[in-house]
Amino acid sequence: HSGLRFHLLAEPETQEISRAGEVFHTALQVLKIRLQLQLLSWENVALLAELSQCPGEANPAACEGSHHSKYRSISGVCNNRQNPGWGAANTALVRWLPAEYEDREGEPKGWNRERLHNGFQLPPPRSVSREIIRSSCKWRDDDYSQLLVDWGQYIDHDVTFTPQSISSAAFWTELDCQQSCENLHPCFPIQTEDSLCQPFRRSTPDCYDRSGSDVQQALQRQQLNAITSYLDASLVYGHTPQLQSALRDLSGLNGKLAINDQFKDPYGRSYLPFVATTPSACRADPQGERVECFRAGDSRVNEGLPLIALHTLWLREHNRIAEILTHMNDHWSPEAVYQETRKIIGALHQIITMRDYVPKIIGLPSFERYLGDYRGYDPAVDASASNVFATAAFRFGHATIPTILSRLNDSFQEHERFPHLRLHKTFFSPWRIVKEGGIEPILRGLIGTAAPAAGPNSLVAEEVTEMLLVLESQQHMDLASLNLQRGRDHGLPGYNEWREFCGLKPIRTLADLAGVVRDGRVAEKILELYGHPDNMDVWLGGLVENFLPGSRTGPLFACLIAKQMQVLRDGDRFWWEAEGVFTQQQKEELLKSSLSQIICDNTDIQEIPKDSFAFAPYPAGYVGCSEIPSMSLEAWREEKSHDLQLCGFPRPIKNGDFIFSSKHGRLTALYSCYHGFKLAGAAEMFCEGNGWRDEPPQCTGKGIFMITRTRTSSTLYQRICLNIRKYLSLC
């Protein structure tokens, strides 16, 4: 596999913001070396941000109007009207505890390898992985299916995506991060036992924190979340207007998502469309026709076959619902069909995650303690993803990654034509879906196989500590080492500080740690490596904790995951239970749905457990699809209003569409243009008497994304430009 190189690129908007963040922080390095950084004023910081092309803050005034009332924005902006950037794409991961960097600004723990922490050097992540985390075998969890594990990865991709530095070389020396073993921004290589290293690029930084008045705090390195934090099915629909448009079937005028125009499955069902740029980086079938990488709302879709299968499932579910709604409400515009279907799909993601998934992961007692009953939308709650959730707590699932991907037939036995696969043979291989039986063998394997379970002496499988394929690396990588290094890269405080944050007793002695881990030998190894309990990385500490009763996490990760889920729910103005989002009848129908029902409706699978996250050996607990409760879309049937019968349909427009709204008691058509086009004329038309007042607007031209470089005559900033221009092309 050493010759494979895969590129996981963020969307163009994210790349521009990433570039601005790197320019900003590189300029700070110039200032730090050549000038006295402490002399910077807020005015200096603001000018530096302007020069670096850092985006401005969203203005609450932009959130007024009907467009932000009926449906979510694709970027998450204006979900919170008072704080439009909360939870939005391309904003910083939030900190629940202050960052800990060796220089207090951006150098991670372990950057200066000889530095002592509480009297001890930090162990290299690879040593922790080899001596504590790596596991040659995994025992099975008879309670839950493999689908529970893969739903965790899938839903993580709906909430967080932290892009890596867009530069692949050190700023000052131009040393390639793939070759260099030196810590030079953005390179932070992982030391290996043979005095070599594995490449590692730091996460891209956000520009700066505008919220406080402390310059030092504002300049501290924060990391981007490139996607919306909300549970909004952004991995189905995208998180930018450009990506959303690329995923839609706009020419079909039907509210559907685009499908693959080259292949269908053995039953005539749709596959995801291919990426626009070919040939793509995905693996090819060694003996047949080439299959490109699939395209979805999240660029990580091709990482594994289960992810592809789940993405395909939701593409089909969107188009199935959109077709029913189109026939049911023939007065709805394609835009209304699309938005209403997107709203339903988002609600189903929320229900399946919060009702069926989270309680199994953190246990019902933790769920009731930290989340409890829903009390309505709270605009004071910031729903943004937290750094510790994205970088540590929700990576608990890496300890439940299997070594084998099962592919099962109709009888839930190993498939005769498509046998089980070692996990490393499934990475970036969409051809196996198209050429080897579709998504059914994969989904049956997820449902009909018990999930691997984690324990303090059985953590992360060798399949991903020794044979992981990572984007842009020409060697096998170690997932456990990457996680530990990423936590240090992000400046996460240590395990003990997070225990105190959650109201748990900190670890002071070997006996304390042994009591939490319930394995004395593992506790001894950890303290032998780290020297002091306060040095423990939070991901490792949370991973080795003994599970709470009825959960798959220890008390720390249960707390952190629950807190994140609580803010995702309570801080979301469009949460499915929030007042005015759905009618009571619609809520009752949504609750009848399940992942099992969605699998039945969109595949050829005929038998399934009622809860597909629960494991039972076939045929125990399996029922026919006709016995699975089903959501009726009759609750979305909408009769034509009296005004619409009088005025008739408003005239459609080219390169745009409308949705109906009721403003000031009048039927209103709200027009918008597809991405790349500009609205010319009034966005609103009113139904008056027996006709529509005024003419509809037009969508003109093709929008061109342009960057205007700001210039200044300041000698100080000319010096900054001169020092970094050959690396970042700023000047």
Q: Rounded to whole angstroms, how far apart are CA atoms 313 and 691? A: 42
Q: Which long-range contacts (CB under 8 A, 24 or more apart) does 111-117 make?
A: 111/183, 111/188, 112/183, 113/183, 113/191, 117/532, 117/534, 117/535
In degrees, rounded to 5, the angle at the alpha carbon of residue 472 between the alpha carbons of residues 470 and 474 is 80
Cα separation, 560 vs 545, in Å, equals 14
How many angstroms separate the Cα of 13 from the Cα of each of 55, 226, 240, 295, 707? Answer: 11, 9, 8, 17, 11
* Sign of the torsion formed by the C-alpha atoms of 580, 584, 589 and 594: positive
- Cα-based distances in Å from 512 to 516, 517, 523, 525, 730: 6, 9, 9, 14, 53
**244, 232 contact by CB (below 8 A):** no
Q: Which amino acid is at 181?
A: C
CB neighbourhood size of 249 (10 A):
17
**What is the amino acid identity at position 443?**
L
| Structure tokens, 691 | 């006709």
Cβ 543 vs Cβ 454: under 8 Å = yes
Q: Can you read off the two tokens belonging to residue 337?
A: 């069909």
Give bridge partners of residue 274 from the DSSP assignment: 294
Q: What is the C-alpha to C-alpha distance for residues 436 and 421, in angstroms, rounded to an integer? A: 12
The answer to whether 579 and 376 have CB atoms below 8 angstroms apart is yes
**H/E segment holding residue 657:** strand 656-663
Would you give the distance in Å from CA 221 to the centre of its chain?
21
Catalytic residue status for 157: yes
Angle between helices 520-530 and 510-517 (to 10 degrees): 130
Q: What angle do CA 601, 270, 433 make, to 5 degrees?
A: 100
Distance between first and last Cα of the chain: 40
Residues 6+ away with beta carbon under 8 Å from 284: 290, 291, 431
Answer for the pair 147, 447: CB distance below 8 angstroms, yes or no: yes
- Of 157, 349, 415, 490, which one is the catalytic site residue? 157
Q: How far apart are CA 296 and CA 239, in angstroms?
A: 11
| 318 marked as part of a ligand binding site | no
520-527: list long-range contacts, CB under 8 Å, 24+ apart. Answer: 521/457, 522/132, 522/456, 522/457, 525/131, 525/132, 526/132
Q: Say which amino acid occupies 308.
A: I
**Helices 595-602 and 305-328, packing angle to 10 deg:** 80
Q: For the residues of 576-643, what is the DSSP string, one character each?
A: TTSTTTS-HHHHHHHHH--HHHHHHHHSS--EEESSTTB---TTTTEEEGGGS----GGGG--PPPHH
Identify each DSSP E strand in 283-420 by its residue range. Answer: 404-405
Give the integer Cα–Cα distance in Å for 331 and 177: 56
User: Which residues are identified as catalytic?
Assistant: 157
Give the residue numbers of the binding site for heme b.
398
